[in-house]
């Protein structure tokens, strides 16, 4: 389905959903450490979400078996949490979560380095990918075209020889996890479908230290880099406004919580 202009009550539900999502991601960022399995993190996510009142939107989506996608190192996205997948010092861990509340879905992701990075390039990769997301969000306004967003994201990453994953893209979001149109992380300005204020979209650059090619692993879900290079993924759900965007999944304005 194509993303629709959301009503005031739908937007209110998405604000609540996004806040729950950000709360869970913040808790995961605080608790993730070497020695935990990715399944442990899924259990933490479920436990953190439960009292907030939302549902994990990914569980069962096209048969996805878990509440969260956790993707480590050369895994770009859609990693399935497993009890035998243990996080190690220096890993880059992508945490991609979705929340449904009052029928409305938000989608967001962060990548984190566990403890001491294996190389400085990993820190830069995460910083540059998060910055590319911010640049993409800054390009948003009423009647923006999808190509304007993709162009902005791609340009912001040009100063280094990164791979920008092309097979996976951002998307409309709200009533469904994935609504049309696609929001690529590359492209030309003044191309692609127009987006209107009060539509909601997920922008999500996926960036590698090598090439842009990816493949789907034998589990049928996990997307890995073809060349084994490590990758980062940041994502927000945003509401398009007259002259900008409101980030519905921001981690920045949450209460500090327990440290
Ligand atoms: Mg997404």
Does the pLDDT value for residue 259 go beyond 50? no
Average pLDDT (241-250) is: 98
| pLDDT value, residue 244 | 98
Domain boundaries, the chain: 8-252
Interval between CA 39 and ligand 1 midpoint (Å): 20
Tokens of 158: 């040009």
What is the mean predicted confidence (pLDDT) over 228-247? 98
> Cα of 256 to ligand 1 centre, how many Å?
26
Closest CA to 66 of 84, 78, 49, 81: 81
What is the per-residue pLDDT across 153-178, written as a single tens digit (0 to 9) for each? Answer: 999 999 999 999 999 999 999 999 99
Query: 171 forms bridges with which residues in the sheet?
Result: 182, 202
- Centre of ligand 1 to C-alpha 108, Å, is 6
Tell me how far CA of residue 256 lies from CA of 48, 152, 252, in angstroms.
15, 32, 9
Distance 178 CA to ligand 1 centre (A): 7
What angle (nearest 5°) sits at the alpha carbon of residue 47, between those of residues 43 and 52?
145
At which residue do the structure tokens 């399944």 appear?
A: 39
The pLDDT of residue 235 is 98
**DSSP state, 138?**
H
Share of the chain above pLDDT 90, in %: 97
Q: Is 90 helix (H, G, I), strand (E, B) or coil?
A: coil
Q: What is the mean pLDDT of residues 39-44?
A: 98
pLDDT of residue 29: 97
Q: Give the distance (Å) from ligand 1 centre to CA of residue 9.
A: 22
How remote is the CA of residue 123 from the centroid of ligand 1, in Å?
Answer: 23
- CATH T-level assignment (fold) for domain 8-252: Creatine Amidinohydrolase (3.90.230)
**257 has pLDDT over 80:** no
Of 102, 108, 32, which Cα lies nearest the Cα of 72? 32
How remote is the CA of residue 235 from the centroid of ligand 1, in Å? 7
Q: Tens digits of per-residue pLDDT, 216-227?
A: 999 999 999 999
Q: What distance in angstroms lies between residue 204's CA and the mean position of ligand 1's atoms? A: 6
- Distance between CA atoms of 19 and 242, rounded to whole angstroms? 22
pLDDT at 258: 47
- pTM beyond 0.95: yes
Crossing angle of helices 8-31 and 38-49, rounded to 10°: 140
Q: Scan for tokens 């096209």, then name that residue.
A: 62
Give 25 Cα–ligand 1 centroid separation in angstroms: 14
């Amino acid at each position: 389905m194509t993303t629709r202009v959301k009503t005031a009550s739908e937007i209110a539900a998405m604000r609540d959903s996004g806040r729950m999502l950000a709360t869970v991601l913040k808790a995961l960022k605080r608790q993730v450490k070497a020695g935990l399995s990715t399944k442990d993190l899924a259990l933490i996510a479920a436990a953190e979400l439960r009292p907030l009142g939302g549902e994990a939107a990914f569980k069962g989506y096209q048969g996805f078996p878990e509440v969260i996608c956790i993707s480590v190192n050369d895994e770009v996205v859609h990693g399935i949490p497993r009890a035998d997948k243990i996080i190690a010092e220096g890993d880059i861990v992508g945490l991609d979560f979705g929340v449904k509340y009052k029928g409305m879905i938000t989608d967001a992701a962060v990548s984190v380095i566990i403890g001491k990075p294996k190389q400085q390039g990993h820190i830069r990769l995460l910083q540059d990918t998060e910055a590319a997301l911010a640049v993409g969000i800054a390009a948003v306004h009423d009647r923006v075209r999808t190509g304007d967003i993709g162009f902005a994201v791609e340009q912001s990453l040009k100063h280094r020889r990164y791979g920008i994953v092309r097979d996976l893209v951002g998307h409309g979001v709200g009533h469904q996890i994935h609504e049309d149109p696609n929001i690529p992380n590359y492209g030309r300005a003044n191309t692609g479908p127009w987006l209107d204020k009060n539509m909601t979209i997920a922008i999500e650059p996926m960036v590698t230290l090598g090439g842009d090619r990816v493949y789907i692993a034998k589990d049928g879900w996990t997307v890995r880099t073809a060349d084994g290079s490590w990758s980062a993924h940041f994502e927000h759900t945003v509401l398009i406004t007259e002259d900008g965007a409101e980030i519905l999944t921001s981690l920045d304005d949450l209460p500090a919580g327990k440290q």
